[in-house]
Structure 1
């Protein structure tokens, strides 16, 4: 699948090993949550980046003790109707303080790109290469938002309140 980051197609440098395979040395790994949790202590000494593929039916708080050893977190969307990964993304960004790359993977649809960005995702596993052009178009189509979210941009209310505080007026 094409990988979009900041509106551009990028090469996915992470290798996803099969559950029974030995972990290759010297390459960035994207490891399923179950295996990561079993081997977390052994993975601390790796010289290459380690990322985790976290399912949306598992409590995101379980990952908190390991955030310092991760280079990327990928959250799964098994179905476009299943939005639990949005909640996980916001919890990671807003409550657990995750500042590293956050990838949306699985059933990632064009219509949901802007919502994924607003929830705090930086990377999207897209279905098609031309999704990158749509992504850039979608990102540029909105300049203000009503809802506060995990992407760090202030809502229109916060922006307005900041203007009032700075100038002492609403005009």
Structure 2
């Protein structure tokens, strides 16, 4: 039965989340300004974690864990057994370099789960990251979106290769689930359906 206490959507259903999300201790937030305005989005490739934050991140000793990319890169020996057992997933922020993940792992499909965190819904880099993971790097396993993920984005995240969506606790997972049916047929080709509609629909009898 679906877990109605969960806000995780996968396979067109609300399901229990088997993964424990590991986050770093909070660091000092630096307010950046440009032309007198606060810069809301971190630059791609910008370093946003300190060595102390990475070292002090607490990782549960058992169960499936979803760890930050920076923590995994610096603490790989400690996490090797978890990865070999299929109990390790990796998440990254939209400003982090996807190449840092790909270059640090021999087989990206050894990861059962990769997740992308959206700090603010207006950050569209998540769509490019999903597309690249599926097309350039041929990632085949669960690809999750979480953070400030809105109902109206789920259909398009699916088109970019995402297969699960962790909806914010203050939003309705049921409403978000319904959004995956907002459109009956996508027009363009994309990750989830490569052929455009004019190649999929037989009009010979029309």
**Global fold match (TM > 0.5):** yes
TM-score normalised by length of structure 1:
0.82
**Residue 43 of structure 1: CA displacement?**
2.2
Candidates 145, 150, 155, aligned match of 1:114? 155
- The equivalent of 1:14 in structure 2 is 19
Aligned partners of 2:119 and 2:148 also within 8 Å: yes
* Structure 1 gaps, min length 5: none
- The equivalent of 1:61 in structure 2 is 99
Aligned partners of 1:72 and 1:101 also within 8 Å: yes
Higher helix proportion, which one?
Answer: 1
**Residue 49 of structure 1: CA displacement?**
1.2
Alpha carbons of structure 1 residues 146 and 153: separation in structure 2 relative to 1, 3 Å: same
TM-score normalised by length of structure 2:
0.69
Show the 5 A alignment for 1:146-165: 146-152=187-193, 154-160=195-201, 163=202
Q: 4+ residue runs of structure 1 moved beyond 4 angstroms? A: none
- The equivalent of 2:8 in structure 1 is 3
CA RMSD of aligned residues (A): 2.5
- The equivalent of 1:94 in structure 2 is 135
Aligned partners of 2:23 and 2:68 also within 8 Å: no
CA distance in 2, matches of 1:158, 1:37: 43
Aligned partners of 2:14 and 2:177 also within 8 Å: no
Say whether residues 1:103 and 2:108 are aligned partners: no
CA distance in 2, matches of 1:136, 1:151: 17
**Residue 104 of structure 1: CA displacement?**
0.5
- The equivalent of 2:48 in structure 1 is none
The residue matched to 1:103 in structure 2 has which SS?
strand
* Structure 2 gaps, min length 5: 1-5, 25-55
CA distance in 2, matches of 1:18, 1:140: 32
Number of matched pairs: 165
Alpha carbons of structure 1 residues 150 and 129: separation in structure 2 relative to 1, 3 Å: farther
Candidates 27, 32, 52, aligned match of 2:63? 27
